[in-house]
Structure 1
Amino acid sequence: MHKEKIPIKVFAAIFATGILSFCGVIIETSMNISFPTLMKQFNISTNVVSWMTSIYLLAISIIVPLSANLKASFKTKNLFIVANILFLIGVLIDALAPSFGLLLLGRVIEGIGTGISLPLMFNIIMEQVPQSRVGTMMGVGNMITGIAPAVGPVFGGIIVTSLGWRWIFLILIPIVFISLLLGIWGIEQKSKLHKAKFDALSIIFVAIFFIGMIYGFSNLSSYNFISIQVLGAIIAGLLGLGMLIWRSHGLENPILNLSLFKSASFSAHTLSFFMIQVISLGNAFLLPNFIQLVNGNTALIAGLIVLPAGFAGAVMGPIGGKVYDEMGARRPILIGLTFMVASMLIFSLISLHMSNLIILFVYILYMGGMGTTLGIIMTDTLEPLNKFEVPQGNAILNTAQQFAGAVGTSLTSAIVAFSQAATHSKSALSTAQGTQYSYIFLTILAIIIFVLMFKYTKKKEH
């Protein structure tokens, strides 16, 4: 079968939006290494410094649900330029910030820019790439952003120890400029515009949902579950979600088209996508933590050990996408999920005694499976939708991804913290036990994903 060529400008548009998303993720993952330095410099606690990540995720989470309406109302190139400039402003503020308050302001502005740009790449792929190449390019898109979590800890460790934390932001400025120039040249408008109404109440309810959930889950390891800071915040978040669902039913054009969940297949795919992100973010916390606290290595060594797996996941994205284009979704998804379930089982069985070498190879197994699967699940979720529903479906998937960002790390860190609290110590043994309990939980999630995808992923029709 002859495959249509992808225009060079479409490649440029995908890479421009992908680079900006890459920069957003790499700041998030590399800044985690600098937390001890920031705590000393600004005289702040662990809970306060963690808002460097939480407030960034919060800004993205509130903006991403608006992406379908933004796409309908404004030209893609204009949205990209605004996102790029906002991100640059945020990076400059953070690079020069004399106080922690200004550092957080920069993170909010970066989050708004990332929240605008993140769905653009996948919208461009679904709208402008020939149908026979969509799977491959979705894999490439996930590869661009997927490299960042792998590179981030190593990049952060090297920069913080050799140049200082401000250089994490300064080094990215020329990369963001390249993204801006590529986008200005390559992004073209293919869809007609129509002014979509931005419902203020819906935006408020989205904000309440994410503020409650992110605040509640981030406090899981610091406060009792039955407390205002945890259960109270989560209940407030769930009330926000309930009000959003109620409000959406009364609108002709809601900011999130929740009626898509009437399809069992869409619901199963979205839930699976969400749970994969939870598992991946759980891994990203558990393994570096284990390497440092149990195996007694430095943060830089931990970053180097998990680095090959990140590259494996990134490389398998386009390969999985190409298989999807040739054979459909079912076979590559189930093969990838088999590797994921197997690796989670191995980690849950041996997590009391894991050497760095075992972690390296089993994590490669997981990330290879995840890289194969993730982009295909996204594509298989969006492919059946019509051209008006695709931006809405994309907004829902990206919103689920941000929510998983709040949940994945918080749940696994809380399980480890509970294990440490039960033994009244932060010893290597209590950390290893907490890691094992976390992996039992993540294994259950992986099995649920396999069952859902086995049931709801169809064979390719010839």
Structure 2
Amino acid sequence: MTQPQVVQVRSPKGMAFVLMLGAFIGLFSETALNMALTNIMADFSINASAAQWLTTGYLLTLGILVPVSALILRWFTTRQLVIASFTFSIIGSIIAALAPSFAILLIGRIIQALGTGILLPLLMNVILLIFPIYKRGIVMGLMGLVITTAPAVGPTIAGLIVDSLGWAYIFWLSVILFIALGVFGVKQIDNVATITKPKIDVLSIVLSTIGFGGLIFSLSTIAEKSISAPEVWVTLVVGIIAIMLFVVRQFTMKIPMLNLAVFKQPMFTLGTLQLFIGMLLILSTAILLPLYVKGALLYSAALAGVILLPGSSINAILAPFIGKNFEKIGAKTLLTIGFALAFIGSILFIFSLKADAALWQVIGSHIVFFAGISFIIMPAQTNGLNQLPRQLYSDGSAVMNTLQQIAGAAGTAVAITLMVQGQKIFMSENPQSLPTEMIAAGTNHVFYYIAGIALVGFISTFFVKRVHVE
């Protein structure tokens, strides 16, 4: 007997709101510390490569946990997972806020990431279950707003907090918000998952952990070491081999931990690639621009946050429109506009990011770039997931979320690596230059690569087709 496509709950909108707000707080935490990295580096006497682990360590945890989420969703009820997610987030935030050393701060961040790693795939899976397909455009538009706005406004809000209260209060804010959401929001959650408690394949979990963990670790370490360093190439090779073995095992198991049959759907595969590129663009830019505005233009954290706010806010303006008109306009047109704007924004950054840049140029380039991002995330996700049958929703959500975390780690690590490379090239040619000029040159160097990635995304839109689902 065919299962109905929609699961009935008391309040679909209320349930979606609670999960989206929880995801927003978790994703806000993902990039909020970018604005406080220089302060943390000074407080704990660490360099930029070590401080970067506060972001990449968070992403590493998500990259390890999320592939297992398809299994977790079949073992525990929706309400149990929401409570566990909020609990991990609160405990991790408290540990980080009280951290007496960098090691304890990093442990707090990892526990925080466990909470977000449970919630993100759960959110996507629940939306696919409780809303009919003709409403998904609007709802996925709002989810796209959460996924892109939270990392984008994180540095803005964090900048104000760092300058007025100190970086520890970024975590205290998360504690307060999660406690309030837990007290008032959990009552809105109904159990929607089908609990089948499939057999736990330990080998699949081990291969998944080694594979995705090794891949993200190696990408993150590139920022500190060269590609020839054993820490980089050994973990990269081991990670790739483990992922290949994981894939082979999933296709040979009767009931796989993660059903990779989702990749037999061409629009899902293409949508996942486009989402990967979109997240790569977001998170590489999210770590670069605060460093540039503070280090090259010499603005305070609070002012740097305000400077980046218009570009970050453009997504909040465009996301509802894109979601509402998704079915009418179609994913192909929206994605083409999105990647074109992201490419143009990258080119504008190349011309504007100097040590003496006019503020309007930086703000204008940021607005164009993030306007493009608004047209990418939601259409790529929705068009891809719409092609999947209900029994593959949790697997599709897990795959997309896993690759988002890998994109985040890659974007952050590669951006820092290329920035350092650009600084070295500039200093070799201009040994008498100022530190502000060096930082500006390093940032500018990275945007040549970001423009190339946006161009690849633009070319991919030629192959997008509208998904028709009964």
Q: Could you say which residue in structure 2 is the equivalent of 1:457?
A: 465
Q: Deviations over 1:302-359 (max 9, x none)?
A: 2211111111113322211111133332222222232222222333345457432112
- Deviation of residue 406 (structure 1)? 0.5
Q: How many residues align?
A: 458
Contact 2:277 2:453 survives alignment (8 Å): yes
**Unpaired runs of at least 5, structure 1:** none
Distance 1:441 1:42, change over 3 A: closer
RMSD between aligned alpha carbons?
2.5
SS at match of 1:256: coil
**Unpaired runs of at least 5, structure 2:** 1-5
SS at match of 2:74: helix
Q: Could you say which residue in structure 1 is the equivalent of 2:211?
A: 209
Which of 339, 349, 370 is the equivalent residue of 1:367?
370
- Deviation of residue 41 (structure 1)? 3.6
Distance 1:51 1:443, change over 3 A: closer
Which of 408, 417, 422 is the equivalent residue of 2:420?
417
Q: Deviations over 1:263-289 (max 9, x none)?
A: 333222211110111111122123223
Alpha-carbon distance between aligned partners in 1 of 2:419 and 2:102, rounded to the nearest angstrom = 28
Distance 1:174 1:317, change over 3 A: same
Distance 1:275 1:121, change over 3 A: same
- Deviation of residue 106 (structure 1)? 1.9
Q: Could you say which residue in structure 2 is the equivalent of 1:447?
A: 455
Q: Which stretch of structure 1 is more off in the superposition, 200-209 or 48-57?
A: 48-57
Which of 437, 444, 450 is the equivalent residue of 2:445?
437
- Deviation of residue 48 (structure 1)? 3.3
Distance 1:58 1:443, change over 3 A: same
Matched to 1:443, the amino acid is: A
Alpha-carbon distance between aligned partners in 2 of 1:128 and 1:210, rounded to the nearest angstrom = 30
Contact 1:143 1:315 survives alignment (8 Å): no
Alpha-carbon distance between aligned partners in 2 of 1:129 and 1:206, rounded to the nearest angstrom = 31
Matched to 2:295, the amino acid is: L
Distance 1:115 1:260, change over 3 A: same
Alpha-carbon distance between aligned partners in 2 of 1:47 and 1:436, rounded to the nearest angstrom = 19
Q: Could you say which residue in structure 2 is the equivalent of 1:103?
A: 105
Alpha-carbon distance between aligned partners in 2 of 1:402 and 1:106, rounded to the nearest angstrom = 18
Q: Which stretch of structure 1 is more off in the superposition, 301-310 or 339-348?
A: 339-348
Matched to 2:120, the amino acid is: L
Distance 1:221 1:327, change over 3 A: closer
Superposed, 1:111-190 pairs within 5 Å as 111-190=113-192
Q: Could you say which residue in structure 1 is the equivalent of 2:346?
A: 344
Contact 1:133 1:325 survives alignment (8 Å): no
Distance 1:38 1:373, change over 3 A: closer
SS at match of 1:28: helix
Superposed, 1:69-84 pairs within 5 Å as 69-84=71-86
Superposed, 1:373-412 pairs within 5 Å as 373-412=376-415
Q: Which stretch of structure 1 is more off in the superposition, 173-182 or 39-48?
A: 39-48
Alpha-carbon distance between aligned partners in 1 of 2:58 and 2:444, rounded to the nearest angstrom = 30
Matched to 2:362, the amino acid is: I
Distance 1:432 1:114, change over 3 A: same
- Deviation of residue 460 (structure 1)? 7.0
TM-score, with length taken from structure 2: 0.90
Identity of aligned residues (%): 29
Q: Which stretch of structure 1 is more off in the superposition, 193-202 or 450-459?
A: 450-459
Distance 1:227 1:101, change over 3 A: closer
Matched to 2:77, the amino acid is: K
Q: Deviations over 1:99-125 (max 9, x none)?
A: 433322222221111100111222121
Distance 1:283 1:101, change over 3 A: closer
Matched to 1:455, the amino acid is: F
Q: Could you say which residue in structure 2 is the equivalent of 1:320?
A: 322
TM-score, with length taken from structure 1: 0.91
Matched to 1:358, the amino acid is: Q
Contact 1:146 1:314 survives alignment (8 Å): no
- Deviation of residue 455 (structure 1)? 1.3
Question: Does 2:283 match 1:281?
Answer: yes
Contact 1:23 1:172 survives alignment (8 Å): yes
Distance 1:95 1:224, change over 3 A: closer
Contact 1:221 1:414 survives alignment (8 Å): yes
Which of 53, 64, 72 is the equivalent residue of 1:62?
64
